[in-house]
Structure 1
Amino acid sequence: MQYTPSRNTIGHRRASISLLLALASSFALASPPAVTVPVTEALSGPNSGSLGFTSLSSSGRYLAYVSSVRSARGNIYILDRTTGTNIQADLTVAGQPSAGAATASPVLSADGRYVAFRSLAADMGVPNGKTGFFIYDSISNITKPIFIGYASNTAFTQLTISADGRYVAYRALLAAGSTESNIYVYDRVAGTSSPVTTTHTLGTQFIQISDDGRYVAYIGQVRGVGKTEVVVHDRTSGIDDAFEGMAQGLAMSADGNVLAFVSAQNSLPGDITGTRDVFVRDRKAGTTERASSPITVNSHSGGPGGVTISADGRFVSFLGYVAPLNVISLYRYDRATRTTKRAVPAAGFHEYTFNYPSTSRDGRYVSSDGMLLPFGTAARIQLTDFGTATGVSVAPASVTVVEGGNSATYQAVLLQQPTDNVAVNVVPDAQLSVARSQLTFTPSNWNTPQTVSVQAPANDIVQGTRTRTMTHSLASSDPEYTLLPVASVTVTITESGPPTIVVPTVWSPEPIPLRGTAAPGATVLITVSTDGAPAFISVSAVADAQGNWASSLFIPSPGPYQLEAVANGLHSIVYNMNLADEAPQ
Structure 2
Amino acid sequence: MSALRPVLVAAGVLAGFLVTVPASAAAPAIQVVSRTQAAEGNDSSSDPATSSDGRYVVFASYATNFIPGNTNGSQGIYVKDTVTGVIAHASAAANGTQADADSEGPSISADGHYVAFSSLATNLVPGDTNGARDIFVKDIRTGAVVKASTAASDFATISAGGRHVSFRSGTNAYVKNLDSGELKLIVANAPATAYPISADGRLAVFATTGALVAGDTNNASDVYLKDLQTGTLTRISTTATGGQSASGGAAPTISADGRFAGFESAATDLVPADTNGAADVFVKDIAKGAIRIGTVAADGTQANGATTEPKLSADGRYLAFASSATNLVPGDTNGDGDIFVKDLTKGTVIRTSVAAGGAQADKASDNVDLSGNGRVTVFRSESANLVPADGNHVADIFSAPALKPGADPYADAIAAGTTVGLSNGANALGAPDRKLAGVTGLLGGRLVLDMGEDEEGTGDLSVYYGGLNLGLLTSLDFLDAQGKTVGSGQLKLIDLGAGTHVTKVPHSGAPYRYVRINTGLLQVFSLDAVEAAG
Q: Normalising to structure 2: TM-score of the pair?
A: 0.60
Q: C-alpha displacement at 1:210, in angstroms?
A: 0.8
**SS class of match (2:268):** coil
Deviations 1:269-317 (A, max 9, x none): 1534531111101111211100111244245457xxx121110000001
Alpha carbons of 1:389 and 1:372: their partners in 2 closer, same or farther (altered >3 Å)?
closer
* Alignment partner, residue 440 of structure 2: none
- Report whether the alignment pairs 1:196 with 2:185: yes
- Report whether the alignment pairs 1:41 with 2:31: yes
Alpha carbons of 1:38 and 1:84: their partners in 2 closer, same or farther (altered >3 Å)?
closer
Q: Does the 8 A contact of 1:56 with 1:108 survive in 2?
A: yes
Matches within 5 A, 1:153-168: 158-168=155-165
Deviations 1:159-189 (A, max 9, x none): 221222110011122xxxxxxx221111111
Q: C-alpha displacement at 1:243, in angstroms?
A: 2.8
Deviations 1:96-137 (A, max 9, x none): 122441x22211111111000111234447669732110001
**AA aligned opposite 1:337:** K
- Report whether the alignment pairs 1:220 with 2:226: no
Alpha carbons of 1:118 and 1:318: their partners in 2 closer, same or farther (altered >3 Å)?
same
- Report whether the alignment pairs 1:118 with 2:118: yes
Q: Does the 8 A contact of 1:98 with 1:123 survive in 2?
A: yes
* Identity percentage of aligned residues: 24
* Alignment partner, residue 193 of structure 2: 205
Q: Does the 8 A contact of 1:116 with 1:133 survive in 2?
A: yes
- Could you tell me which of 26, 48, 54 is aligned with 2:48? 54
- Report whether the alignment pairs 1:377 with 2:388: no
Q: Does the 8 A contact of 1:39 with 1:384 survive in 2?
A: yes
* Alignment partner, residue 334 of structure 1: 343
**SS class of match (2:288):** coil
- Could you tell me which of 165, 170, 178 is aligned with 2:167? 170
* Alignment partner, residue 131 of structure 1: 133
Q: Does the 8 A contact of 2:114 with 2:162 survive in 1?
A: yes
* Alignment partner, residue 249 of structure 1: 251
Q: 2 CA distance for matches of 1:379 and 1:246? A: 32
Deviations 1:408-443 (A, max 9, x none): xxxxx9965249xx9xxxxxxxxxxxxxxxxxxxxx
Alpha carbons of 1:332 and 1:141: their partners in 2 closer, same or farther (altered >3 Å)?
same
Matches within 5 A, 1:70-89: 73-89=74-90
* Alignment partner, residue 146 of structure 1: 148
Q: 2 CA distance for matches of 1:109 and 1:217? A: 17
Number of residues paired by the alignment? 357
- My pick for the range that moved more, 289-298 or 164-173, is 289-298
* Alignment partner, residue 174 of structure 2: 184
* Alignment partner, residue 363 of structure 1: 374
Q: 2 CA distance for matches of 1:312 and 1:134? A: 28
**AA aligned opposite 1:114:** Y
Matches within 5 A, 1:519-558: none
**AA aligned opposite 1:379:** A
* Alignment partner, residue 231 of structure 2: 238
Q: Does the 8 A contact of 2:317 with 2:345 survive in 1?
A: yes
Matches within 5 A, 1:375-524: 377-387=393-403, 416-418=452-454, 448-451=481-484
**SS class of match (1:158):** strand
Q: Does the 8 A contact of 1:39 with 1:386 survive in 2?
A: no
Q: Does the 8 A contact of 2:276 with 2:302 survive in 1?
A: no
**AA aligned opposite 1:327:** D
Which one has a bigger Cα radius of gyration? 1
Q: 2 CA distance for matches of 1:325 and 1:382? A: 18
* Alignment partner, residue 16 of structure 2: none
Q: Does the 8 A contact of 1:38 with 1:386 survive in 2?
A: no
Q: 2 CA distance for matches of 1:144 and 1:218? A: 25
* Alignment partner, residue 459 of structure 2: none
Q: 1 CA distance for matches of 2:342 and 2:73? A: 36
Q: 1 CA distance for matches of 2:149 and 2:34? A: 31
**AA aligned opposite 1:201:** N
**AA aligned opposite 2:349:** T
Q: C-alpha displacement at 1:345, in angstroms?
A: 2.9
Q: 2 CA distance for matches of 1:236 and 1:148? A: 23
Moved over 6 A (4+): 125-129
* Alignment partner, residue 314 of structure 1: 317
Higher RCO (CA-CA < 8 Å; seq separation 6+): 2
Q: Does the 8 A contact of 1:252 with 1:309 survive in 2?
A: yes
Q: 1 CA distance for matches of 2:316 and 2:353? A: 24
Q: 2 CA distance for matches of 1:128 and 1:298? A: 48
**AA aligned opposite 2:293:** R
Q: Does the 8 A contact of 1:292 with 1:299 survive in 2?
A: no
**AA aligned opposite 2:143:** N
Structure with the largest fraction of strand: 1
Alpha carbons of 1:44 and 1:241: their partners in 2 closer, same or farther (altered >3 Å)?
same
Q: C-alpha displacement at 1:146, in angstroms?
A: 1.1
Q: Does the 8 A contact of 2:46 with 2:60 survive in 1?
A: yes
* Alignment partner, residue 278 of structure 2: 275
Alpha carbons of 1:91 and 1:301: their partners in 2 closer, same or farther (altered >3 Å)?
farther
Q: Does the 8 A contact of 1:307 with 1:356 survive in 2?
A: no
Q: 2 CA distance for matches of 1:112 and 1:93? A: 17
Q: C-alpha displacement at 1:140, in angstroms?
A: 1.9
Q: Which runs of 5+ in 1 are unaligned?
A: 1-36, 152-156, 174-180, 391-412, 423-445, 454-485, 489-585
Q: 2 CA distance for matches of 1:43 and 1:284? A: 37
- Report whether the alignment pairs 1:266 with 2:299: no
Q: Does the 8 A contact of 1:349 with 1:370 survive in 2?
A: no
Deviations 1:506-553 (A, max 9, x none): xxxxxxxxxxxxxxxxxxxxxxxxxxxxxxxxxxxxxxxxxxxxxxxx
Deviations 1:346-374 (A, max 9, x none): 38984333111111111001101111349
Q: 2 CA distance for matches of 1:144 and 1:382? A: 29
Alpha carbons of 1:299 and 1:242: their partners in 2 closer, same or farther (altered >3 Å)?
farther
Q: Which runs of 5+ in 2 are unaligned?
A: 1-26, 65-71, 238-246, 327-332, 386-390, 410-448, 457-478, 487-508, 512-534
* Alignment partner, residue 286 of structure 1: 289
Deviations 1:295-343 (A, max 9, x none): 44245457xxx12111000000100122354320111111101111112
- Report whether the alignment pairs 1:66 with 2:60: yes
Q: C-alpha displacement at 1:380, in angstroms?
A: 0.4
Q: Does the 8 A contact of 1:113 with 1:138 survive in 2?
A: yes
**AA aligned opposite 2:236:** F
Q: 2 CA distance for matches of 1:85 and 1:285? A: 44
**AA aligned opposite 1:110:** A
* Alignment partner, residue 106 of structure 1: 106
Q: 2 CA distance for matches of 1:104 and 1:276? A: 27
- Could you tell me which of 291, 294, 297 is aligned with 2:303? 297
Q: 2 CA distance for matches of 1:42 and 1:208? A: 26
Q: 2 CA distance for matches of 1:280 and 1:340? A: 15
**AA aligned opposite 2:352:** A
Q: C-alpha displacement at 1:61, in angstroms?
A: 1.2
Q: 2 CA distance for matches of 1:252 and 1:299? A: 24
Q: 2 CA distance for matches of 1:121 and 1:274? A: 44
**AA aligned opposite 1:86:** I
Q: 1 CA distance for matches of 2:152 and 2:169? A: 6
Alpha carbons of 1:147 and 1:341: their partners in 2 closer, same or farther (altered >3 Å)?
same
